[in-house]
Amino acid sequence: MLYINDLTKKYGSYTAVNHLTLHIPEGDLFGFVGPNGAGKTTTIRIVCGLMRANAGSVQIGNISAAVGSRKMKRLIGYVPDFFGVYDNLKVKEYMDMYGSMYGMSSRDIAKLSDDLLELVNLSDKKEVYVDTLSRGMKQRLCVARALLHNPRLLILDEPSSGLDPRARVEMKELLKNLHAMGKTIVISSHILSELSEMCTSIGIMNRGQLVTAGRIEDIMKKISGGRRIHLRVLSDMEPALRLLREQAQVRVESVRENEVIILFDGEETRLAGLLGMLLQNQVLVTDFHREEGSLESLFMQLTGGVAE
């Protein structure tokens, strides 16, 4: 669906996006993660045609940004991290204006606008002035506006920033619904817990480069928590610790009363062998499990920074 090839953007000597290559398949809900200044917004702005890249290309479906930016604009719905509303303009008129900007007929705008306002729970606010809406409502209106021309790709730049918890939940539900409808969605966000609940795949950017990208489960398994094993024993801890320390692939990380956490570098069969060896040596193991990696820990591990 979205192909970004070797994209580079420089501001003077500062490289905001450095040879970024990314493919987002159709129907995916893709989370774009990275610390401030990682290059997420720059990438999104280039994809939306709001900025020119120094090198590389962007393609949506079979349309390249370089040759058909107007055609490409029809394929993209963009929700920025600001609301961009007018005083003295009603919700219905706001939708009408953007529909006209996409060359839609008044009849189509009226019909689609009604459906979309219902989808975002704003159908009772049609005659209300946009600037009187709450932040959450404005953000939902922005999503409805971005969907008006029925784009194939919806791009949201930090859609939950500045929203209260209730509005965040509503936004999350809305995005889940849109994903279920088959829309391809790209979300840039700092709220990692939300992304891990919603997204089917993620891409982590740091200092303009894509550190990793793929399905969340695969990345977790590959990189983070998979190495850390929690082991609980019923009997004395000493024999268990002695046996573990004898293993070259094991490093004991911490020891508590009846629990030990180890870092294991090895394949699954060797891990099973480790458990078997403990049991053979009469260590009464009551719990032996791999630690689930969180997106936060993954993010910190990959970016070397602090998760927000």
Partner 1 sequence: MKIRWNPIVKKDLQVTARSMRISWGLFAYEAALALAFLLVLAIIQEEADSWYSDNFYSYLVVLFPVLAVVQVCIVTLIVPIITASAISGEKERQTFDLMLTTCMTPFSIVFGKVMSAVINILLFVAASTPVMALSFVVGGMRWSYLFYFLLAILLQAVFSGSIGIFASSLCRKSIVAVLLSFSIYGGFYVLTALPPLISMIFGMGRNMGESALFLLLNPVVFFEEFFMLLMTGETMFNGTISKGDAGIVTYMLSHYNLWIYVSAGCMLLVSFLFMLMAAWKVNPLHSGTGVRKKK
State the minimum distance, in angstroms, from the CB of residue 252 to partner 1.
44
State the minimum distance, in angstroms, from the CB of residue 145 to partner 1.
8
Nearer residue to partner 1 within complex by CB, 72 or 178: 72
State the minimum distance, in angstroms, from the CB of residue 260 to partner 1.
45
Nearer residue to partner 1 within complex by CB, 49 or 226: 49
Nearer residue to partner 1 within complex by CB, 61 or 225: 61
Q: Which residues bind partner 1 (CB under 8 A)?
A: 11, 36, 41, 45, 48-52, 69-70, 73-74, 76, 78, 80-89, 93, 97-98, 100-103, 145, 149
Nearer residue to partner 1 within complex by CB, 83 or 288: 83
Nearer residue to partner 1 within complex by CB, 54 or 134: 54
The 209-215 sheet, strands edge to edge: 76-79, 153-157, 184-188, 29-33, 201-206, 209-215
Q: Which segments of the chain are extended strands (E)? A: 2-11, 14-24, 29-33, 55-60, 63-64, 76-79, 153-157, 184-188, 201-206, 209-215, 228-233, 250-255, 259-264, 285-290
Helices (H) and strands (E) in the chain, counts: 11, 14
State the minimum distance, in angstroms, from the CB of residue 136 to partner 1.
17
State the minimum distance, in angstroms, from the CB of residue 211 to partner 1.
21
Please identify which residue in the block is written with the tokens 């791009």. 155
Handedness of CA 106, 108, 112, 114 (dihedral sign): positive
